[in-house]
């Protein structure tokens, strides 16, 4: 409980980093269990940083490897279960329970790079809590083997697990998503989920393997049902699609080749490389057959792109 130092950095087109400014937050002055909206002026530069800071004491919340899985330790599991037993139903009503998610691996992901590979990482979201795995480079079958624990504030929340392709300084590419209601979780059961599109309406490409454990107090969960849902503060931004980019690059190549072929055709007519072709083109020039021949050539090369 001290001073939180924050630095804001920027990168230019040459990927050089520059520190833009700094600010400080006195954590000890903030109230607990309350979302604090802070607008902090940056030192040594113009502008301010808008932050949402919530201090919530919670046990067992962590990111770890499988070998140090919190709920795998019997004594720790017993302690957490005791915390959410019926006898403690009237203590800390906002602390409903805890969710543990093992992100094991994904298989047969979409190739987002031109090399036929992807650089996948996995983002987990529960309400306003967001955690993510590390990135595994050049792999369509990544194994993360990470364990995440989340505090549960509303038993009717939905865990969203999204796989992205890291793309350097650019926004990551979408590789698939699953949404799992907390009430549908069966403790300790490894499950294979088919990745879906952003709207969760159609199957995408690939599957992801998850194992989840849920411990909660049913009394607190029932009471929280009648309170307003927590406001979502995170908004999704539009992301660059490499699939669309690849398609557009191919289209530009076809148009460029069509223009080049047309130029070569006109050049051959003026240079009389083919006497018959040049004669026909210039004799009927007033009727614009040369223009029609150009359009036909363009249309044949571009095809449906136009």
- pLDDT value of position 140: 93
Distance between CA 96 and CA 94 in Å, rounded?
6
| 243 pLDDT above the threshold of 70 | no
Among 83, 95, 78, which residue's Cα sits nearest to residue 33? 95
CA dihedral 89, 93, 95, 98 (to 10 degrees): 40
- pLDDT value of position 242: 58
Each residue of 134-161: pLDDT tens digit? 999 999 999 999 999 998 888 989 999 9
Residues 6+ apart with CB under 8 A from 259: 298
- pLDDT value of position 107: 94
Distance between CA 126 and CA 216 in Å, rounded?
15
| 6 pLDDT above the threshold of 50 | yes
- pLDDT value of position 303: 46
Distance between CA 142 and CA 114 in Å, rounded?
18
β-pair partners for 179 = 160
In SS3 terms, 138-198 reads as CCCCCEEEEEEEEEECCCCCEEEEEEEEEECCEEEEEEEEEEEEHHHCCCCEEEEEEEECC
- pLDDT value of position 89: 85
Each residue of 254-293: pLDDT tens digit? 888 888 888 887 777 777 777 776 677 666 555 554 444 4
| 176 pLDDT above the threshold of 90 | yes
- pLDDT value of position 302: 44
Each residue of 14-67: pLDDT tens digit? 667 788 888 988 888 888 878 889 999 988 788 899 988 888 765 545 677 777
Each residue of 60-107: pLDDT tens digit? 456 777 777 778 888 888 888 888 888 888 888 878 899 999 999 999
- Band (163; pLDDT cuts 50, 70, 90): very high
- Lowest mean per-residue pLDDT among 5-9, 108-112, 169-173, 269-273: 269-273
- pLDDT value of position 300: 47
């Amino acid at each position: 409980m001290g001073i939180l130092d924050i630095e804001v950095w920027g990168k230019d087109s040459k990927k050089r980093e520059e520190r833009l400014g700094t600010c400080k937050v006195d954590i000890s002055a903030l109230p607990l269990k309350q979302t604090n909206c802070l607008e902090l002026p940056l030192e040594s530069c113009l502008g301010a940083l808008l932050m949402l800071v919530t201090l919530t004491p919670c046990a067992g919340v962590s990111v770890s490897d499988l070998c140090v899985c919190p709920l795998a330790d019997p004594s720790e599991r017993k302690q957490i279960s005791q915390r959410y037993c019926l006898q403690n139903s009237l203590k800390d009503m906002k602390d409903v329970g805890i969710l543990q998610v093992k992100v094991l691996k994904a298989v047969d992901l979409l190739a987002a790079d031109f090399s036929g590979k992807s650089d996948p990482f996995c983002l987990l979201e529960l309400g306003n809590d967001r955690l993510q795995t590390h990135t595994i480079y050049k792999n369509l079958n990544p194994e993360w083997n990470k364990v995440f624990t989340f505090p549960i504030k509303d038993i009717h929340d939905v865990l969203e697990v999204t796989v992205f392709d890291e793309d350097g300084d650019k926004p990551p590419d979408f590789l698939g998503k699953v949404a799992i209601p907390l009430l549908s979780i069966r403790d300790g059961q490894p499950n294979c989920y088919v990745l879906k599109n952003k709207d969760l309406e159609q199957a995408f490409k690939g599957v992801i393997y998850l194992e989840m454990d849920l411990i909660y107090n049913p009394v607190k969960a029932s009471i929280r049902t009648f309170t307003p849902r927590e406001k979502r503060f995170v908004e999704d931004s539009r992301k660059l699609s490499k699939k669309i980019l690849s398609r557009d690059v191919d289209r530009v190549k076809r148009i460029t080749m069509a223009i080049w072929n047309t130029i070569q055709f006109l050049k051959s007519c003026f240079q009389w490389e083919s006497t018959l072709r040049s004669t026909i083109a210039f004799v009927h020039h007033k009727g614009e057959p040369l223009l029609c021949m150009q359009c036909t050539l363009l249309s044949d090369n571009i095809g449906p792109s136009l």
